[in-house]
Amino acid sequence: MLSHLSLFLSFSLSFSFSLSLSLSLSLSLSHTHTHTHIHTNPFREGVRELQGVGRSQNSMALTALYLLTLFSSVLKYGHMEVRQKAVVVLKPNWTKLFRGDTVSLRCTVPGEPSTDWEYIWYKNEEELNPYKLWSESNEYKNVGPVEDTDSAEYACLGMRKVDSVFSEISDAVVLTVSERPKAVILQRPDWLQIFSGETVTFRCDIPGELLTEWRYRWRKDGQKVKSDAAGETNIYRITAADQSHSGKYTCTGLRKSDFKFSLASDSVTLTVRERPRAVAILSPKDMEIFSGEAVLLRCHIEDGEAEEEWRYTWYKRGYVGHSQIGEERELSLSPASEGDSGDYTCRGTRKTDSQHSQTSPAVRLAVSALPKVSVSVKPGSPIFIGETVVLECGAASRSDWSYTWFKGSPQTGALPADRSSKRGDSLTISGATETDEDEYWCQGERVNSNTSSLMSDPVYLTVSDLPTSSLTAEPQNPVFSGEVVTLTCAIESHNDWEYRWYKGSSQSPVAQSDRYSRDGNSLVIRGAAESDQDHYWCQGEKDTRPTSSHISTYVYLSVTALPSATLTLQPPSPIFSGEIVTFTCAIQYLRDWTYKWYRRSSKDTVSQSARYSRTGNTLTIRGAAVSDEDQYWCQGERDTRPMVSQISHNVTLSVLEFKPKPRLTSNRSEQVYTGSSVTLTCEVDPSGATGWTFYWYRDSQNSDPVALTDTNAYTINFVKMSDEAPYFCNAGRGSPIYFTHYSNASWIKVTERPKAFVTLLSNWTRIFSGETISLQCDIQGTTDADWDYIWYKNGYLNNPVNHEKEYRVTLVYGHRGDEYACIGRRRSELTYSEMSEPYSVSVFERPLAELSVPAQIWMHEGDSVTLRCEVTGSTEGWRFHWYRVDSAVKQTLVYSNGDSYTLVPVAVRHTGLYMCRAERGEPPYYTKNSKLQPVWVMGLSPPASVIVRPNRTQHFIYKSLSMSCETQGIPAGWRLRWFTDRGELTECPAGWRSVVGSTCTIVHPHTSDSGVYWCQSEAGLRSNPINVTFHDTEVILESPAHPVTEGDPLTLQCRYRKTPAKAEADIYKDGAPLQPTITGELTILAASKAHEGRYRCRHADRGESPDSWVTVRPRDTPTHTHLVVWLVVGLFVSLALVILLATLLYRYRGLFLQVGLFGWGRHSTNQQTRDDQNRPEGEKSGFVPWHRGGARSGPSDVVYTDIELKEMRRKWYKVQCVSDTQQLTRYSYVQNICIEFGRR
């Protein structure tokens, strides 16, 4: 207790001074460092921060922090501890790993609960995850599936959560990762097939491994081998193999040290089969063998053995050991003799191992002597010509023999191929002739062999001729229908004949019927008809040989029908009363005809009278009357064959009492347009009356005909105005002409043809490529319902044909001067209007929208900016759309309709690239997108910052630099983007060599990489943009990349590609030189708005640098009293508060480090609401609350307090502060968020 009290008093005086210094330092840090970085280890990064502050203030702050930390530790524990050493535990406890394995490493501090510690892991003495969140324990480190890169030394370090005390680093654990080995299996002997009873040995090897370090596992067809021989040894042996041992064998190694398996070997297939059997094969098979033939015996080993793997042995008498007669696979006996008859066997011996096959069953060979044949003839001699003769070759009739026939001589004779046929052992001669008379022999030949039988004895064949027959017909041709015809057949030799009569191509005799009668050797045909016309022949037949005579010669019977009479009437019926009628009877065949006329069904001829007159082949009726109506016939007669003609068909005479009056009609019921055609039709009733000639009259019936036509239609083509008149018609026929009455009048009314015209329906005349226009066709003085429309393009009919009044066409650039015209077609009468005048359409290239912005595109929050969009050369009908380009593939529509887009007030979130495009028409036609135009907005407290290393605006080309996004509370989802002078929006890592998180590094930048860079999150939040340029010059000016705050120092320095001998250089502002510098460096201790401007550097030898703009922004928070004032106040109050503060430090020992050193400002949600209200329509707020890494998002206790602050300048502000308490892992901290009410 006394040691604790003395230690406490020794720190009292030190703490009274350090307390005031720490309070001042915390206020200064909260004011100065507007953009505080997010760190994963508050203690470690806090010390770094204090070290940076100590260089600008003094080292007392670091001393105070250290003493306070030590003081808090002593208060809790009262003594200094000895650090424990961390231990790495492996699970499983293997250090040699195969690729793909997984291992877990655990870090423990002996004797300490694991939940009280946080851990740091090292790989090859480098820290893993240096930016991890300390809210994570990291007690376990899982590695796997492991790769070669995981081979390393691993160690860990613990830090106690309660007081941030570190353990000693553990001993290193070495992990080795290698490829998992694959087993290899070998078979001996390595034959593809093993016979039953043989021995097989398998060996398993692990390449590159010692045999004694492994156990071995054997599998057959995927199942474990149950054998005493399998296990420790790498040999697996099968003795006396049988077919059950057949299968696929694999092996796997199991390392004894860590029980890890190797990869299984590839499978080896073992096939065990029974000893093969030999089979002796005799060829030819199943047929009788004759002396002199060739015999082949072949030995075959069954079960698919290869022939070349065996030697063969042949035996006669059927058993091994006697009469060995050959050692080849095939035993040939050529020629065979009767002494070769006997039983044969064979056996195989495998060449590789001298294993014998089974002996084949015996095959019996029987060899016989050659046979002799003989010839027989059917029927016996003599043979009559035409008969069929069959010669048979006997005494050797076997199915496997063929026979050869000889005629005249056994050596040179030949058989008639056209009439002879061989079938089996017989020769058939069909239709024997005198040439077939000769001697005949035969000989047998074995099929598929050269063996022949002995030649037969000869047989002589005698051939005699058949009796002949002849046929006659009476009367001779031609025969007329109805006459009687007699056919007579005569045979000179032999008696007792019966006669057969044949007609046409039929092979069947003519049958007896009513019209066909047979009498002896005659055939009588009564009432000859045209169906009897054909060829006829006869033949004699009898029961004894010769059974038939020769066929007679053909007789053709020609039957001709009686000549036909044709009756015609002129003029055609119906006949009108008073007309002259003429009947004409015509017979085309023969002459010397006289004619008879018949009326109705009477057989009496028409009598001659004053009205009926007969002249030659005509009958004339003068002054036809109704009483003459009837049916009429005619017939011809003559003195020789044929005596009469056929009766003509009947003709009906119809007589009408009235004189007809035609009816005149027109195909145009309404007005006729000039240039079209009109057809008049003159119809005479009844319509069946024919033979008319039509007469056409104009203006009156008494005028001369304007036209005569054979048809009842008259067409006027290309109607003119002068064709307008009344028209008449009548008809006439016969000689003298019989005229009808005149028709009614039909008027033709002619009107000038209307003209079509084309109209463009859109409100604009300048047409662009890809745009769809509508053209309309109208007909002057008509209604649309009467017309269809035909469109033409450049004088040609448009394809596809469009009959609509409105014609829509999508135009393509390059079709300048296309002309469109139309013509109307009247639906009711198919008449056409005149062609419209051509409507010329010129097509221009698709326009580019032009986006214009103010000259000053760099603005501050609260300013306003107006963007304007227009289409060059066209102003009619356009609607405009505005887009913000968020990435190369993402565009956000922010506004539509107007040709201008105003941002007021602008905020950092409005930073970006904008473009526009226009549309008009239906379907919408779009212009090309405008070029990208940037708008850069500088904010006071953006959510992120672009950090440039090295931190300057100008850079040399080919000099490496990096940029990163450092954020306030939102570490994920940020990307670095830039817009270059080429007009391209690019996102890291395009064109950059490496990317780590939100940091991009470029190794060899070029001038084309110059541009504006900013950070953007996935939620749309943006940082302040900065301008970064790359120059191919000898000198550049180093100036801050970010705006300088009023009151802060500003340093400008000349940088050289190569260090010059003399460093003197001049710095210019807005073109005017400032004070000369010896080192080329200028420092302004307290920058003000007056220092804002354009700066450049000039060196006498190296030339001038490009201009660089420096921006100075006002300080956004009131300045605090000098640090000395706070030190004096602290000295007076420290002694009074020491006990109270010691208690607070003990209770809130983590709060001081979190808030005093690392506090930051926060955007007001009220301000965000005001910003959202000022956003254009369609754009949503992208505000996301920001939290420190490791803090959990959630509700917090909020307290509002009004505080009155008085500034040194005696200006008053009213500030509302919000106390926002959030919970970290084990520490609490308070954020003071102040919102200003009122303005200066």
Mean pLDDT over 668-695 rounds to 87
Mean pLDDT over 466-474 rounds to 88
Query: Which DSSP helix (H) or strand (E) runs through 1053?
Result: strand 1050-1056
Mean pLDDT over 58-72 rounds to 42
For residue 72, is pLDDT > 80?
no
State which amino acid sits at residue 1041: A
Q: Distance between CA atoms of 618 and 263, rounded to whole angstroms?
A: 121
Model confidence at 1181, in pLDDT bands (50, 70, 90)? very low
Lowest-pLDDT range, 344-358, 586-600, 1226-1240?
A: 1226-1240
Q: Distance between CA atoms of 1093 and 419, rounded to whole angstroms?
A: 129
Query: Which DSSP helix (H) or strand (E) runs through 819?
Result: strand 818-826
307 vs 1240 pLDDT, higher one = 307
State which amino acid sits at residue 141: K
Mean pLDDT over 1009-1037 rounds to 88
313 vs 982 pLDDT, higher one = 313
Reported as a single tens digit per residue, the pLDDT across 205-215 is: 998 888 888 88
Q: Distance between CA atoms of 547 and 551, rounded to whole angstroms?
A: 12
Model confidence at 601, in pLDDT bands (50, 70, 90)? low
Q: Distance between CA atoms of 1233 and 1201, rounded to whole angstroms?
A: 10
Model confidence at 1216, in pLDDT bands (50, 70, 90)? very low
- In this prediction, residue 1192 carries a pLDDT of 35
- In this prediction, residue 1046 carries a pLDDT of 92
Q: Which residues pair with 175 in a beta bridge?
A: 152
- In this prediction, residue 517 carries a pLDDT of 92
Q: CB of 934 within 8 A of CB of 859?
A: no
Mean pLDDT over 952-979 rounds to 82
Mean pLDDT over 1005-1030 rounds to 86
Q: Distance between CA atoms of 633 and 650, rounded to whole angstroms?
A: 5
Nearest to 261 by CA among 211, 217, 205: 217
Is residue 963 packed enough to be buried (19+ CB in 10 Å), middle (13-18) or exposed (0-12)? buried
Reported as a single tens digit per residue, the pLDDT across 74-103 is: 444 444 567 889 999 998 888 888 888 898
- In this prediction, residue 1147 carries a pLDDT of 61
Q: Distance between CA atoms of 312 and 328, rounded to whole angstroms?
A: 6
Model confidence at 1236, in pLDDT bands (50, 70, 90)? very low
Mean pLDDT over 898-905 rounds to 89
Pairing between β-strand 933-938 and β-strand 858-860 as defined by DSSP bridges: parallel
The mean predicted confidence, pLDDT, of the chain is 78
Helices (H) and strands (E) in the chain — how many of each? 8, 103
Give how far Cα 1214 sits from Cα of 27, 108, 740, Å: 19, 54, 124
- In this prediction, residue 80 carries a pLDDT of 56
For residue 1014, is pLDDT > 90?
no
Which token pair is 104?
A: 């877990």
For residue 1189, is pLDDT > 60?
no
Using left for φ > 0, alpha for ψ between -120 and 50, and beta otherwise, residue 626 falls in alpha
Helix 42-56 crosses helix 60-77 at what angle (to 10 degrees)?
Answer: 150
For residue 713, is pLDDT > 90?
yes
For residue 1225, is pLDDT > 50?
no
Helix, strand or coil, per DSSP, at residue 723? helix
Q: Per residue, what are the HEC states of 968-1028?
A: CCCCCCEEEEEEECCCCEEECCCCCCEEECCEEEECCCCHHHCEEEEEEECCCCECCCEEE
Q: Distance between CA atoms of 440 and 404, rounded to whole angstroms?
A: 11
Which token pair is 289?
A: 């063998």
Residue 918's φ and ψ, nearest 5 degrees, are -120, 155
Model confidence at 503, in pLDDT bands (50, 70, 90)? very high
**678-683: strand order across its sheet:** 663-666, 678-683, 713-716
Mean pLDDT over 635-663 rounds to 89
What percent of the chain shows pLDDT beyond 70? Answer: 79
Model confidence at 168, in pLDDT bands (50, 70, 90)? very high
- In this prediction, residue 1204 carries a pLDDT of 35
Lowest-pLDDT range, 836-850, 1008-1022, 1188-1202?
A: 1188-1202
- In this prediction, residue 695 carries a pLDDT of 96
Mean pLDDT over 368-393 rounds to 85
Q: CB of 49 within 8 A of CB of 43?
A: no
Q: Which residues pair with 673 in a beta bridge?
A: 751
- In this prediction, residue 163 carries a pLDDT of 86
Query: Which DSSP helix (H) or strand (E) runs through 767?
Result: strand 767-768
For residue 856, is pLDDT > 80?
no
Q: Which residue has the tokens 């006071």?
A: 940
513 vs 133 pLDDT, higher one = 513
- In this prediction, residue 395 carries a pLDDT of 61
Mean pLDDT over 1077-1106 rounds to 90
For residue 380, is pLDDT > 90?
no
